[in-house]
Amino acid sequence: MADLFQEIKHKLSGANITIVLPEGTDERIIRAAEKLQAERIIKPIVISSSKNIPKNLTVMDPETYEEMDKLVSALVERRKGKITELEARELLKDVNYFGTMLVYTGKANGLVSGAAHTTAETVRPALQIIKTKPGITKTSGAFIMVKNDLRYVFADCAITIAPTSEELAEIAVESAKTAATFGIKPVVAMLSFSTKGSAHSEETEKVVNATKLAKELAPSITIEGELQFDASIVPAIAASKAPNGEVNGDANVFVFPSLDAGNIGYKIAQRLGGFEAIGPILQGLNAPINDLSRGCTAEDVYKLVYITAAQALE
C-alpha cells in the first residue's frame, strides 16, 4: 500500500486548503508551519502576537485583526443570545476561539490545536461554533493506526467515556467515513469481550444494539458485532467463533465499547505493536478541528495538519 501521506499530498495538490494553527507561541507549531509553507501544498495560518515569527509565514494577531468587529458579530449570532458582544470580544482573545471563528467564517478550512492546550480547550469552541453535523449527537475521536502497509481506524479513543448504543452506532458510521477518506475500504467490528452471544450482560447487549442501529444508519457498510478482537482480525478464529459472519477476520475499523477500552487499546498497539497513532481525529463536526497531544513533536503537528486538510477536502 502506498504511503498514506504521499497519497494525501497527491489529493491536495492544487486544492488551496488553509489550516489555522492557533498556538503560534509554540516552537513545534512554528517548525511544522515552516515545513508546510516550504512545500506549498497546504497554507498554514499561525495565530500569534509575537514579533519573532518567521517572515515567510502568514500570521494573524487577535489584538490587531482588522475584521475583529465582524468576528464578534458572527460569534454573537452563532451563540444565539447566549453571550453579549462584550463577552464575545473577550472570548475572541482566546486563540482557540479566534481560530475556530476563522474556520466558521471561511478564512480557513480547518484547525489543529492542542500542543499547548487541553482537549477541552480545543473541542469546546468547536462544539459551540462549528457544531456537529445534522443527525450527529456528539463528536468522537478516532486514530489512524499505521504500520508498514497496514492501516486501521480505532474509535472512540478520545472523547466519549461511556457511549450509549446510539452513540456507538454513530461512532461506527463516522469511523467508516474516516476510513474511506484515508484510502481504507471500511470493514467495521463492534468490539466486546463476547462474540455473538458467548457472554450476556448489559455491556454486551449495548454492543449488540449498537450494531443493529449502525446497520440501519449505513446499510451499505460491512458492520458486525458483538465481536472479540481476535474474532475480528484473525480469519481462523472468526471461522470458529463467528461462522457465516460478515467481517470474517478482515476488520480494519474497530469500534471500542468504552473510552477505557479505546484509549488503552490504541496505546497498546502503539507502544507494544509498533504502530504509528495519528490523531485523535475529531469526527462528526461540520468542519475539521483536530486535537494534538501536548507531548507532540513538530512532525506530529505536520502530519495532523495533512490529515485535517484531507478531511476538509472531503
One domain, residues 210 and 229 = yes
Q: Give the residue among 221, 262, 252, 225 at the shortest CA–CA distance from 241.
A: 225
Tell me, what's the pLDDT at 256? 97
Give the confidence band of 205 by pLDDT, cuts at 50, 70, 90. very high
Tell me, what's the pLDDT at 21? 97
Query: Which structural domain range is residue 170 located in?
Result: 136-284
One domain, residues 14 and 59 = yes
Q: Which residue has cell 475529531?
A: 282
Residues 49-56, mean pLDDT to the nearest whole number = 86
Cis peptide before 288, with omega less than 30 degrees from 0? no
Percent residues over pLDDT 70 in the chain: 99
One domain, residues 140 and 44 = no
Give the Cα separation of 228 and 181 in Å (integer). Answer: 26
Phi and psi torsions of 34, nearest 5°: -65, -40
154's enclosing H/E stretch is strand 150-155
312's enclosing H/E stretch is helix 298-313
Tell me, what's the pLDDT at 280? 86
Give the Cα separation of 307 and 280 in Å (integer). Answer: 10
One domain, residues 60 and 50 = yes
DSSP one-letter string for 103-144: HHTTS-SEEEE-SSS-HHHHHHHIIIII-BPTT--S-EEEEE
End-to-end CA distance of the chain: 21
Give the confidence band of 2 by pLDDT, cuts at 50, 70, 90. low
Residues 116-141, mean pLDDT to the nearest whole number = 91
One domain, residues 111 and 227 = no
- What does DSSP say about strands 222-227 and 58-60: parallel, antiparallel, or unpaired? unpaired
CATH of the domain at 83: 3.40.50.10950
pLDDT score of 1 more than 50: no
pLDDT by residue (tens digit) across 5-18?
889 999 998 899 99
One domain, residues 63 and 116 = yes
pTM for this model (two decimals): 0.87
Domain total of the chain: 2
With contact defined as beta carbons under 8 Å apart, do 104 and 287 qualify? yes
Residues 133-145, mean pLDDT to the nearest whole number = 91
pLDDT by residue (tens digit) across 250-281?
999 999 999 999 999 999 999 999 999 988 89
CATH of the domain at 215: 3.40.50.10750
pLDDT by residue (tens digit) across 276-313?
998 889 999 999 999 988 888 999 999 999 999 999 99
Tell me, what's the pLDDT at 5? 87
One domain, residues 71 and 107 = yes
One domain, residues 141 and 113 = no
With contact defined as beta carbons under 8 Å apart, do 258 and 162 qualify? yes
One domain, residues 125 and 144 = no
* Per-residue cell: 136: 450527529
Phi and psi torsions of 137, nearest 5°: -85, -30
One domain, residues 301 and 226 = no
Residues 173-200, mean pLDDT to the nearest whole number = 93
- 190 or 81: which leads in pLDDT: 190
Amino acid, single-letter form, for residue 296:
C
Mean pLDDT, rounded, of the chain: 93
One domain, residues 226 and 299 = no
One domain, residues 307 and 235 = no
